[in-house]
């Protein structure tokens, strides 16, 4: 606030307080039983009785309290108050306290590996907070994912679920690319794949259909998904034989995937999250698919 407006605010505030007191005493001078001379409906008279003492005192006390407050705390223009308190300072102190607490919490976890952190309730609660703040938007608050966003609780991994792989995925991010086969495949080749891939794990799939599918798959798809269809964690090619689908199973979704291709990006968190935060969130994710040996 520039000095003029500061002075203006101080002047108005002080004038208001003095005005209040003046108004009070100017109107407190009546004598008991003194009439103002106003009469309504023949008998209804208005008196000028003084205000009760206790009420008057309460009012004066309120004004004094206000004056005291404005002397101690900020409120009068640029005047900061004798106590020197400010909301900014208070927040700063609070923040420092929280930072100190979080340093202490992380220091207690230093030197533990991911599986040990995954059994440590305090590491898990830190990891869960990091997850809810940064990851839940894509993977869901329960980490069960959605179409195109992998489920992190099912023990089925595109890139591998070991502690090292999890830390690597989170730190560096991932980019999965399945090319489009629209111009490569003839209609009958596409049909052979669409009739086979979604039903890979179905034991009742007719033998001839399976044979035709496998034949085409070996030529076009095996380089990435493996001859056995179990995927390749180095490039994030999913296992197609386990009936767990990132983009949905069934003929139509698989046809869509083959014709249009798919691209997914898991952002890199290096720089956004500290190393400690990446370790605890990795431990949290690890714990989700290792419930039996995780902390209760």
Rule CB under 6 A: is residue 77 a binding residue for ligand HEC? no
Output the smallest distance, CB 219 to ligand HEC, in A.
Answer: 9
Rounding to the nearest 10 degrees, give the CA dihedral for residues 139, 143, 149, 154.
170
For residue 202, give the nearest of 232, 253, 240, 176 by alpha carbon.
240
For residue 221, give the nearest of 250, 251, 194, 252 by alpha carbon.
194
Size of the site for ligand HEC (CB under 6 A): 48
Tell me which of 159, 199, 200, 286 binds ligand HEC, using CB under 6 A: 159
Rule CB under 6 A: is residue 218 a binding residue for ligand HEC? no
- The span from the CA of 161 to the CA of 92, in Å, is 40
280 to each of 130, 170, 173, 177, 275, how far by Cα in Å? 8, 11, 17, 28, 9
Output the smallest distance, CB 108 to ligand HEC, in A.
Answer: 22
- The span from the CA of 243 to the CA of 7, in Å, is 75
Rule CB under 6 A: is residue 212 a binding residue for ligand HEC? no
Output the smallest distance, CB 78 to ligand HEC, in A.
Answer: 45
- For residues 274 and 110, the answer to whether their CB atoms sit within 8 Å is no
- Name which of residues 225 to 264 contact ligand HEC (CB under 6 A): 225, 235-238, 240, 245-247, 254, 257-258, 262-264
Question: 144-150 contacts: CB < 8 A, separation 24 or more?
Answer: 147/246, 147/247, 147/248, 148/246, 148/247, 148/262, 148/264, 149/264, 150/246
Tell me which of 112, 119, 144, 174 binds ligand HEC, using CB under 6 A: 174
Tell me which of 135, 192, 280, 294 binds ligand HEC, using CB under 6 A: 135
Tokens of 220: 């076009």
- The span from the CA of 65 to the CA of 47, in Å, is 31
Rule CB under 6 A: is residue 163 a binding residue for ligand HEC? no
Question: Nearer Cβ to ligand HEC, position 118 or 152?
Answer: 152
Output the smallest distance, CB 106 to ligand HEC, in A.
Answer: 16
- Per CB under 6 A, the segment of 15-23, 62-70, 83-91, 149-157 that binds ligand HEC is 149-157
Rule CB under 6 A: is residue 286 a binding residue for ligand HEC? no
Q: What is the contact surface with ligand HEC in residues (CB under 6 A)?
A: 134-135, 137-139, 148-150, 152, 157-159, 166, 169-170, 174, 176-179, 181, 193, 197, 220-221, 223-225, 235-238, 240, 245-247, 254, 257-258, 262-267, 269, 281, 285
């Amino acid at each position: 606030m520039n000095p003029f407006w500061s002075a203006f605010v101080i002047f108005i505030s002080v004038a208001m307080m003095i005005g209040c007191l003046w108004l009070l005493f100017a109107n407190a001078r009546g004598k008991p039983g003194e009439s103002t001379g106003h009469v309504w409906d023949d008998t209804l008279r208005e008196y000028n009785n003084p205000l009760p003492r206790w009420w008057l005192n309460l009012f004066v006390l309120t004004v004094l309290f206000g004056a005291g407050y404005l002397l101690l705390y900020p409120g009068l223009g640029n005047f900061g108050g004798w106590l020197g308190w400010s909301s900014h300072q208070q927040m700063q102190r609070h923040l420092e306290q929280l930072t100190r607490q979080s340093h202490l919490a992380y220091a207690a976890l230093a030197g533990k590996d991911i599986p040990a952190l995954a059994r440590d309730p305090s590491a898990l609660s830190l990891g869960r907070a990091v997850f809810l703040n940064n990851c839940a938007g894509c993977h869901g608050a329960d980490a069960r994912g959605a179409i195109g966003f992998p489920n992190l609780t099912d023990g089925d991994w595109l890139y591998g679920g070991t502690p090292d792989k999890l830390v690597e995925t989170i730190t560096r991010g991932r980019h999965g690319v399945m090319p489009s086969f629209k111009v490569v495949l003839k209609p009958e080749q596409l049909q052979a794949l669409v009739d086979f891939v979604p039903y890979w794990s179905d034991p009742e799939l007719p033998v001839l259909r399976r044979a035709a599918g496998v034949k085409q798959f070996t030529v076009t798809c095996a380089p990435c998904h493996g001859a056995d269809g179990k995927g390749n964690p180095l490039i994030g090619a999913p296992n197609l034989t386990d009936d767990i689908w990132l983009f949905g199973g069934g003929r139509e979704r698989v046809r869509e995937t083959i014709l249009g291709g798919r691209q997914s990006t898991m952002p890199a968190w290096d720089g956004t999250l500290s190393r400690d935060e990446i370790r605890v969130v990795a431990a949290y994710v690890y714990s989700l698919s290792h419930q039996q040996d995780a902390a209760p």
